[in-house]
Amino acid sequence: MATVERTRAVSEDTVDLIVNGETHTVRVEPQWTLQYVLSEKLGLTGTKEFCGEGACGACTVIMDGRPVLSCMMLAVECGGRPIETVEGIARSNHPLIDAYIKHSCMQCGFCTPGFVVTAKALLDRNPDPTVDDIKEAMVGNLCRCGTYPAHIKAIQEAAAVLRGGGSRG
Protein backbone atom coordinates (compact mmCIF):
# COMPACT_ATOMS: atom_id res chain seq x y z
CA MET A 1 0.00 0.00 0.00
CA ALA A 2 1.41 3.33 -1.03
CA THR A 3 2.01 5.92 1.64
CA VAL A 4 2.24 9.62 1.06
CA GLU A 5 3.12 12.41 3.43
CA ARG A 6 -0.05 13.81 4.93
CA THR A 7 1.00 17.29 4.08
CA ARG A 8 1.98 17.62 0.48
CA ALA A 9 5.40 19.13 0.27
CA VAL A 10 5.14 21.07 -2.93
CA SER A 11 7.61 23.71 -3.92
CA GLU A 12 6.47 26.14 -6.51
CA ASP A 13 8.74 27.79 -8.98
CA THR A 14 8.17 30.82 -11.11
CA VAL A 15 9.01 30.64 -14.79
CA ASP A 16 8.76 33.12 -17.61
CA LEU A 17 7.10 31.31 -20.46
CA ILE A 18 7.45 33.13 -23.77
CA VAL A 19 4.41 31.94 -25.64
CA ASN A 20 3.53 33.26 -29.08
CA GLY A 21 5.74 36.27 -28.45
CA GLU A 22 4.26 37.18 -25.08
CA THR A 23 5.90 36.56 -21.75
CA HIS A 24 3.81 34.94 -19.05
CA THR A 25 5.20 34.78 -15.54
CA VAL A 26 3.66 31.63 -14.15
CA ARG A 27 3.98 29.88 -10.82
CA VAL A 28 4.36 26.21 -11.56
CA GLU A 29 4.82 23.08 -9.54
CA PRO A 30 7.88 21.09 -10.54
CA GLN A 31 5.96 18.11 -11.90
CA TRP A 32 3.65 20.13 -14.13
CA THR A 33 4.08 19.49 -17.82
CA LEU A 34 4.23 22.28 -20.36
CA GLN A 35 1.05 20.91 -21.91
CA TYR A 36 -0.75 21.20 -18.58
CA VAL A 37 0.38 24.77 -18.01
CA LEU A 38 -0.45 25.89 -21.55
CA SER A 39 -3.95 24.45 -21.53
CA GLU A 40 -4.98 24.68 -17.89
CA LYS A 41 -3.15 27.80 -16.69
CA LEU A 42 -2.85 29.91 -19.85
CA GLY A 43 -6.11 28.76 -21.44
CA LEU A 44 -4.38 27.72 -24.66
CA THR A 45 -6.54 24.62 -25.05
CA GLY A 46 -5.47 24.04 -28.63
CA THR A 47 -2.48 22.17 -27.20
CA LYS A 48 -4.25 18.88 -26.62
CA GLU A 49 -3.46 15.88 -24.47
CA PHE A 50 -4.31 12.63 -26.25
CA CYS A 51 -1.89 9.86 -25.21
CA GLY A 52 -0.17 11.73 -22.39
CA GLU A 53 3.12 9.92 -22.90
CA GLY A 54 4.81 11.17 -26.02
CA ALA A 55 3.22 8.72 -28.44
CA CYS A 56 0.77 10.80 -30.47
CA GLY A 57 1.90 14.36 -31.23
CA ALA A 58 -1.39 16.03 -30.25
CA CYS A 59 0.40 18.29 -27.77
CA THR A 60 3.12 19.44 -30.17
CA VAL A 61 4.43 23.00 -29.80
CA ILE A 62 7.40 24.64 -31.43
CA MET A 63 10.20 25.48 -29.01
CA ASP A 64 13.49 27.00 -30.08
CA GLY A 65 12.35 26.38 -33.63
CA ARG A 66 11.81 22.66 -33.20
CA PRO A 67 8.61 20.66 -32.69
CA VAL A 68 8.50 19.23 -29.18
CA LEU A 69 5.96 17.17 -27.29
CA SER A 70 4.70 19.43 -24.53
CA CYS A 71 3.37 16.48 -22.51
CA MET A 72 6.98 15.29 -22.19
CA MET A 73 8.41 18.67 -21.17
CA LEU A 74 8.26 20.00 -17.65
CA ALA A 75 7.16 23.61 -17.55
CA VAL A 76 10.07 24.51 -15.29
CA GLU A 77 12.44 23.55 -18.10
CA CYS A 78 10.86 25.94 -20.56
CA GLY A 79 11.50 29.35 -19.04
CA GLY A 80 12.92 31.91 -21.42
CA ARG A 81 12.58 29.72 -24.48
CA PRO A 82 10.32 30.88 -27.28
CA ILE A 83 7.25 28.67 -27.59
CA GLU A 84 4.80 28.74 -30.46
CA THR A 85 1.38 27.11 -30.13
CA VAL A 86 -1.38 26.57 -32.64
CA GLU A 87 -3.04 29.75 -31.41
CA GLY A 88 0.01 31.74 -32.42
CA ILE A 89 0.17 30.07 -35.81
CA ALA A 90 -3.50 30.90 -36.37
CA ARG A 91 -3.01 34.51 -35.27
CA SER A 92 -0.21 34.92 -37.80
CA ASN A 93 -2.63 33.91 -40.56
CA HIS A 94 -0.34 31.10 -41.62
CA PRO A 95 -1.45 29.55 -44.93
CA LEU A 96 -1.62 26.15 -43.27
CA ILE A 97 -4.90 27.16 -41.64
CA ASP A 98 -6.70 27.87 -44.91
CA ALA A 99 -5.15 24.81 -46.51
CA TYR A 100 -6.29 22.61 -43.64
CA ILE A 101 -9.85 23.88 -43.96
CA LYS A 102 -9.87 23.60 -47.75
CA HIS A 103 -8.63 20.01 -47.71
CA SER A 104 -10.85 19.00 -44.81
CA CYS A 105 -7.94 17.73 -42.74
CA MET A 106 -10.04 17.46 -39.60
CA GLN A 107 -12.75 15.07 -38.60
CA CYS A 108 -13.31 14.98 -34.84
CA GLY A 109 -10.58 17.61 -34.80
CA PHE A 110 -9.00 16.74 -31.48
CA CYS A 111 -5.59 15.92 -32.96
CA THR A 112 -5.71 18.57 -35.70
CA PRO A 113 -3.87 21.37 -33.86
CA GLY A 114 -0.94 19.04 -33.21
CA PHE A 115 -0.72 18.31 -36.92
CA VAL A 116 -0.82 22.02 -37.77
CA VAL A 117 2.03 22.75 -35.37
CA THR A 118 4.17 19.86 -36.62
CA ALA A 119 3.53 20.94 -40.20
CA LYS A 120 4.45 24.55 -39.38
CA ALA A 121 7.74 23.38 -37.93
CA LEU A 122 8.39 21.36 -41.08
CA LEU A 123 7.69 24.30 -43.38
CA ASP A 124 9.86 26.58 -41.24
CA ARG A 125 12.87 24.40 -41.94
CA ASN A 126 11.91 23.00 -45.35
CA PRO A 127 9.90 25.31 -47.60
CA ASP A 128 9.55 22.75 -50.38
CA PRO A 129 9.01 19.34 -48.78
CA THR A 130 8.49 16.22 -50.86
CA VAL A 131 5.73 13.78 -50.00
CA ASP A 132 8.31 11.60 -48.28
CA ASP A 133 9.57 14.60 -46.30
CA ILE A 134 6.03 15.29 -45.17
CA LYS A 135 5.40 11.69 -44.19
CA GLU A 136 8.62 11.56 -42.23
CA ALA A 137 7.81 14.79 -40.41
CA MET A 138 4.20 13.89 -39.65
CA VAL A 139 4.55 10.21 -38.76
CA GLY A 140 4.55 10.97 -35.04
CA ASN A 141 1.12 12.55 -35.15
CA LEU A 142 -1.70 10.06 -34.64
CA CYS A 143 -5.22 10.59 -35.96
CA ARG A 144 -7.83 8.04 -35.01
CA CYS A 145 -10.25 9.32 -37.65
CA GLY A 146 -7.67 8.51 -40.35
CA THR A 147 -7.36 11.94 -41.94
CA TYR A 148 -3.75 11.40 -43.02
CA PRO A 149 -4.12 11.66 -46.82
CA ALA A 150 -5.64 15.14 -46.52
CA HIS A 151 -2.71 16.51 -44.53
CA ILE A 152 -0.22 15.76 -47.27
CA LYS A 153 -2.23 17.77 -49.79
CA ALA A 154 -2.75 20.66 -47.39
CA ILE A 155 0.91 20.89 -46.40
CA GLN A 156 1.99 20.85 -50.03
CA GLU A 157 -0.47 23.61 -50.80
CA ALA A 158 0.57 25.75 -47.85
CA ALA A 159 4.19 25.30 -48.87
CA ALA A 160 3.36 26.53 -52.36
CA VAL A 161 1.60 29.58 -50.94
CA LEU A 162 4.59 30.38 -48.74
CA ARG A 163 6.88 30.12 -51.74
CA GLY A 164 4.60 32.48 -53.62
CA GLY A 165 3.36 29.79 -55.93
CA GLY A 166 -0.27 29.84 -54.96
CA SER A 167 -3.01 31.94 -53.53
CA ARG A 168 -4.50 31.81 -50.08
CA GLY A 169 -8.00 31.65 -51.45
Residues that bind another protein (CB under 8 A): 1-4, 6-8, 31, 39-40, 43-48, 50-53, 55-56, 58, 85-87, 89-90, 96-97, 100-102, 104-113, 116, 135, 138-142, 144-152
Nearer residue to another protein within complex by CB, 39 or 80: 39
What torsion do the CA atoms of 133, 65, 111, 18 make, to the nearest 10 degrees?
A: -170
Nearer residue to another protein within complex by CB, 146 or 164: 146
| DSSP state string for 79-90 | TTSEEE-HHHHH
Minimum separation from the CB atom of position 29 to another protein (A): 8
Between CA 63 and CA 69 the distance in angstroms is 9
Residue type at 145 in one-letter notation? C
Minimum separation from the CB atom of position 142 to another protein (A): 6
Nearer residue to another protein within complex by CB, 22 or 80: 22
Between CA 82 and CA 143 the distance in angstroms is 27
